[in-house]
Amino acid sequence: MGVFQLAAFALLAASFVMLVRVIRPEMALQVSVIAGLIVLAFSIAQLTGILESLRSFAAKYNIDTAYVAILLKIIGIAYVVQFAGEICKDAGENALASKV
Condensed to tens digits (0 to 9), the pLDDT of residues 35-73 reads 988 988 888 887 887 888 888 888 899 888 888 889 889
Q: Give the list of residues 6+ apart from residue 85 with CB closer than 8 angstroms, or none.
A: 97, 98, 100
Lowest mean pLDDT among 11-15, 19-23, 44-48, 94-98: 44-48
Residue 18 has pLDDT above 80, yes or no: yes
H/E run at residue 49: helix 25-60
Chain CA centroid to CA 18, Å: 20
- Burial class (CB within 10 angstroms; exposed 0-12, middle 13-18, buried 19+) of 16: middle
Instruction: Please give the share of the chain, as a percent, with pLDDT higher than 90.
Output: 21
